Chain A
């Protein structure tokens, strides 16, 4: 326990107070997924399962390169394949590594009702603390990218941890290390942004005018970013959201309604207290007893 104190929490689910962090400077980390360099080999999927000791049940071929067909409690990253016909009528095979985006403003954390089940570290990683998870599934609804999955085995929510156990000891995530083409890079957020700009310049010089970085401002940026050849239409990359943002329902429920509801609760408690000291409890009087007796008798009378 407490061996990851070096990664101080900056946010904690269902807690209005964030524990004070004496150490106030930490580099923000980021993973950059260069979709334009990905060959879809799935080494990242393999390395993820190996490192995290995950072995989902072997499935069946569904007629797609995607395998398995969706993320799951034991599938934290997944290559999604899409065949897209461009304006010239040429086929482009768009392969995107799907998984947690580690939002700067995480919808899952905002929606979570269990104190401390979802935390955000100073370095930007959003992590699920299974110990505190109650498996309610609010994080699934709160996530703008549809990432968390509830396990049927222990009824807790799971997703990519950005290998927080590796990052905390100074290593890169397992998927980043294994990537044979260098499509997945890891470093500080500023270094990754710089590297992305270099890549985008190169792509633009080779005819991809709309090449760009996917670091959506709707969730205040992410700690997993994509370099896309067609950044103007993210949805062609297997439904990558155009403008991801935390669901209005979550903002309404957790932002507006929660304090109002708490105030209501506090008011009710206070009103009850004042009623108790001014009017007092509702005691049974001798007249009440007599009235009850009379009613009972009249009910017993044969019709």
Chain B
């Protein structure tokens, strides 16, 4: 556009006058209703109940993930908040619980069992099969070596005192029942819970 000096002054004057008319309140107010703040992000997210991973209080949490679990959609956790129907916390969460989302997505989060072989100074990632087999092997060896079937008086006691079990406290009644059965069935007497630690 080739503007003379006079033309430029005319144009700026007109623009100023036009914007002044807007400032006087003659603007199009209809657009005021078109603008919107952030939409609610969980409208169609999938809600999953769970228990907080942190302390022994075991607060109920609601995990929200994107996707409706359709075959072609991969779920991903987008938000976590307290479960209002859970008797322990009734929707509340402490600062750690309120920040659980970042635990889920932390790059340093442990995602697979890791193994440090005797004499080695580094952990290496191993398969669940390897880890469970090795734990079972070591437990069996220790139990075979140290199992006490009868005490000095000859009474049957079936004790295994050289291995202990520390259970999580953030577990349901059913999980606790199963844990108890497994541990006691093996004869283990050293048995404690995170809630007491």
Contacts and interface: CB of A to CB of B under 8 A. Distances in A.
Contacts, number: 117
Interface in B10-57: 13, 16-17, 20, 23-25, 27, 29-41, 43
B33 A17 contact: no
Interface stretch (A43-51, A85-93, A216-224, A289-297): A43-51
Contact of A19 (B16, B23, B32, B92): B32
A240 interface: no
Nearest to A79: B95
3 closest cross-chain pairs (CB), A and B = A16-B25, A46-B98, A47-B98
A178 B81 contact: yes
Interface string B55-81: 000000000000000000000000111
A151 B61 CA distance: 32
A127 B95 CA distance: 26
Contacts of B39: 3-4, 165
A4 B13 CA distance: 38
B20 A266 contact: yes
Nearest to A180: B92
A43 B98 contact: yes
A129 B79 CA distance: 23
A15 B81 contact: no
A17 B135 CA distance: 74
Contact of A15 (B17, B32, B91): B32
B40 A180 contact: no
Nearest to A20: B29
Interface of A: 1-5, 8-9, 12, 14-19, 41-43, 45-47, 49-51, 55, 115-116, 119, 127, 129, 131-132, 161, 164-166, 168-169, 174, 177-180, 182, 262, 265-266, 269, 272
A9 B32 contact: yes
Given A46-B95, A46-B98, A50-B79, 17 more contacts: A3-B39, A14-B23, A15-B29, A41-B95, A43-B92, A43-B98, A47-B98, A50-B80, A50-B101, A129-B37, A165-B38, A177-B81, A177-B91, A178-B93, A178-B97, A178-B98, A265-B16
Contacts of A131: 35
Contacts of A41: 94-95
Contact of B20 (A1, A49, A265): A265
B101 A161 contact: no
Interface of B: 13, 16-17, 20, 23-25, 27, 29-41, 43, 79-82, 84, 89, 91-99, 101-102
Contacts of B16: 265
A50 B40 contact: no
B81 A174 contact: yes
Contact of B34 (A2, A45, A115, A262): A2
Contacts of B41: 165
Given A16-B25, A46-B99, A47-B81, A269 B17 contact: yes
A19 B33 CA distance: 8
Contacts of B36: 1-5, 129
Contacts of B27: 15, 17, 115
Contact of A178 (B25, B34, B38, B82): B82
A272 B80 CA distance: 63
22 contacts: A1-B34, A2-B34, A3-B36, A3-B39, A4-B36, A8-B33, A14-B23, A16-B25, A43-B97, A47-B93, A116-B31, A127-B37, A165-B37, A165-B39, A166-B40, A168-B40, A177-B82, A178-B91, A178-B97, A180-B89, A262-B24, A265-B20
Contacts of A4: 36-37, 39
Contacts of A47: 81, 93, 98
A45 B40 contact: no
A262 to B, nearest CB: 6
A190 B191 CA distance: 53
Contacts of B95: 41-43, 45-46
A178 B37 contact: no
Contacts of A177: 81-82, 84, 91-92
Contacts of B29: 15, 17-19
A17 B81 CA distance: 40
Given A129-B35, A165-B38, A269-B17, A19 B30 contact: yes
Nearest to A117: B35
B35 A132 contact: yes
Given A9-B32, A116-B31, A180-B89, A161 B38 contact: yes
